[in-house]
Each structure stands twice: as structure tokens, then as C-alpha cells.
Amino acid sequence: MKAYFYDNLPGDQRLPHDSGRPVDVDTLAKLGVLYYHFPDVSGVDELASQRGYRNRDEITVSPEKMGAVYEEKVKTFFDEHLHEDEEIRYIRGGQGYFDVRSKDDDWVRVQLEKDDLLILPAGIYHRFTTDESNYVHAMRLFKDEPKWTPLSRKPELDENEHRRGYVKGFLG
């Protein structure tokens, strides 16, 4: 895992966009973003048990697996959004970037690779993209039935109870 402020320069979203300003794990934790490294799935199983994640699935994001919809899907994942549930991803192969908003509303880019696990709290604005390899294989964990409902950022979303809870708990 490597985390840093996004450079906001034009160019393909799959490029590193590394500003040269690193962000450490403690700073991520203050945003509610939790990072773990599990070289074995047993660590994921233990965390799932501790946090009450009862369901999981796996997804491969690549042109080979997704075909013609790949580019459209990657653009959809990169649209700034939040979820009303935690988002948990364990990287089984490949690499990808999760971008999360800092306390000052700047983007922090988190580069994940094999054996990295990231937990994003409900209500945090974020986005995702593959890197230039165009390949990531991830396990998704869920507390209830698997669902992935993105709510795109817009002013009225600030009144969403999950967004308000996030702001109060981590940004307030």
C-alpha cells in the first residue's frame, strides 16, 4: 500500500497522479479508512468474523473479464460517490487505486496491490480505478446481502444520514 495526495493534473485516471506528498496509515485512520495486509485469506476470515461480515464475493475488473463494458465500468467506478455501508476490498491480484476525500476535501490516493485490504466507512466520498495494467481481482465483503449502491456526490447528499454520521464522526 502506498498513499499520497493526488496531483489533480490532467491525464488518464489510471496513471499514478502522485503529488510527492505522502499520507501515512494514521492519517488514513483519522479519515475512518482502515488498512490491513493479509498474506493469507485466514487473516481476512478472522477480520470478517470480528467485524460481522457474513457475505463475500469476488470481482475481476479487466478488459478480458468484462469485455466491451470495461471502459464504461471503470469510468463509472471513478465517479465520486458514497455508500450507505462500509466498502471492504481485499486485493487478490493486480493493482488499483481508491481515492478518498481528506478533511480539506482534497483527494488522497491509496494504491493497493495483492494482499492489501481496505475498509472505507459508510458516508465517505471516494472513487476507484484500476492502474495502467487494467487488471484487479478483489474480494468484496458485506455485512448483509451483497449490494453495491453508489450515491453520486451532489449537494443534497450532504443531508444523507450516513454522510452526516461520517462527517460528525471523522470530519467534525
**C-alpha distances out from residue 11 to 50, 87, 100, Å:** 40, 27, 19
81 assigned binding-site residue: yes
Residue 83 annotated as binding site: yes
Known binding residue 87? Answer is: yes
Contact 130, 94 (CB under 8 A): yes
How many Å apart are CA 80 and CA 84, to the nearest integer? 14
**Smallest Cα–Cα separation from 100: which of 114, 85, 110?**
110
- Contact between 122 and 166 (Cβ < 8 Å): yes
Query: How many angstroms separate the CA atoms of 3 and 6, rounded?
Result: 9
Provide the b/e sequence for 84-123 (b: ≥16 CB within 10 Å). ebbbbbbbbebbbbbbbbbeeeebbbbbbeebbbbbbbbb
137 is in an annotated binding site: no
Please report, in range form, the residues annotated as the binding site for Ni(2+): 81, 83, 87, 126
Please report, in range form, the residues annotated as the binding site for Fe(2+): 81, 83, 87, 126
Please report, in range form, the residues annotated as the binding site: 81, 83, 87, 126
